[in-house]
Amino acid sequence: MKAATLTLVFLIIFGVTATLCAGVGGPVQRCLCAGVLLPRVKRQNIGKMEVFLSSPSCPKTEIVTTLKRTGQKLCLDPDGKQGQMILKQKIVKLPKRGPKRARGKKKRQP
């Protein structure tokens, strides 16, 4: 009987410890730009540029540039001068969300 009681106490302590330790780590951030942020990149070298606004998985705004020749991805500092200029341009060019409206000729009603 003592072995069963000891096993039950061990399982209860293990369960309580596992439950309390599960929330210690906090939410995982999945940001693309975890390392060094460059203040600027030469425009001639930029092949592709992507802007990722803050989201639940990453609270930071990120600017990822892909170089033409090497295909290397670099992170641009969004608080820097070049980053601010890019964000202003990208925010203006973002598509508007909402229902699509038919443009042009209107259908006749019979």
3-state secondary structure 26-58: CCCCCCCCCCCCECCCCHHHEEEEEEECCCCCC
Task: Tell me the pTM.
Answer: 0.57
* Distance of alpha carbon 86 from alpha carbon 65, whole angstroms: 11
pLDDT at 65: 92
**DSSP run (H or E) holding 75:** strand 73-76
**DSSP run (H or E) holding 81:** helix 81-93
Q: pLDDT tens-digit profile of 32-61?
A: 888 889 999 998 998 998 888 888 888 889
Q: pLDDT tens-digit profile of 11-35?
A: 788 777 767 665 555 566 688 888 8
**Architecture of domain 45-93 in this structure:** Beta Barrel (2.40)
Q: Would you list the domain boundaries of the chain?
A: 45-93
Q: pLDDT tens-digit profile of 51-103?
A: 888 888 888 899 999 999 999 999 999 999 999 998 888 765 555 555 655 55
- CB proximity list for 36: less than 8 A, separation 6 or greater: 75
